[in-house]
Amino acid sequence: MNWGQSIIVAFILFAGFIATLVVVCMRQDISLVSNDYYKDELVYQDQIVRMNNVSQLDQKPIIQKSGAFLSIDFNQLSQIENGKLKLFNPSDPKKDKIFVIKSTDKTQQLIPIDDVAKGMYRARMQWMMNKKEYFIETVVNI
């Protein structure tokens, strides 16, 4: 085999490698954080207002794993009108879970997490209190 044929064979192998790489990359599943990304960005200003409302509180909620439960420690749980806690898994949206936060006279609420898959989650708590909306986000490892 002479130099001309070797160059042609090398070029064909390189082209085959690139074609294979393109096919493999096109078949990969790309999970987005949100399906309605642009719509969510338009209403993000409301989220900023909610986060600013939390910064004005004397005590912020503390969300942490406590054994087989997720613990929410907050001295104003009795004033919550309605609220929810979303466990958001950035790597797999099928693992996301939503829990309802109920008003209680206690300063701690325990949420069972037996059916939650292990991994890193963003605990996103949103609630309404005194006709104001609030939002806080914390990273929790389960």
Who has greater pLDDT, 36 or 129?
Answer: 129
Q: Are 60 and 125 in contact (CB under 8 A)?
A: no
**Where do we find the tokens 């907050």?**
74
Q: In what order do the strands lie in the sheet with 108-112?
A: 62-66, 69-73, 108-112
Share of the chain above pLDDT 70, in %: 96
Name the percent of the chain lying above pLDDT 90.
Answer: 44
Q: Please state the rounded mean pLDDT for residues 12-30.
A: 91
Higher pLDDT among residues 92 and 136, named by residue: 136
Q: Tell me the mean pLDDT in the region 99-123.
A: 89
The predicted model scores a pTM of 0.70
**C-alpha–C-alpha distance, residues 71 and 63, integer Å:** 6
Q: Is the Cβ–Cβ distance between 81 and 128 less than 8 Å?
A: yes
Instruction: Spell out the residues 6+ positions from residue 13 whose beta carbon is closer than 8 angstroms to its own.
Output: none
Q: Record the tokens describing residue 9, joined without a space.
A: 């064979």
Q: Are 83 and 100 in contact (CB under 8 A)?
A: yes
Measured over the CA atoms of residue 53, residue 57, residue 63 and residue 69, the dihedral's sign is negative
86: pLDDT strictly greater than 80 = yes
Does the structure show a pLDDT above 80 at 82?
A: yes
Run of H or E residues at 124: strand 120-129
Region 88-105 average pLDDT: 87
Fill in the amino acid letter for 74: F
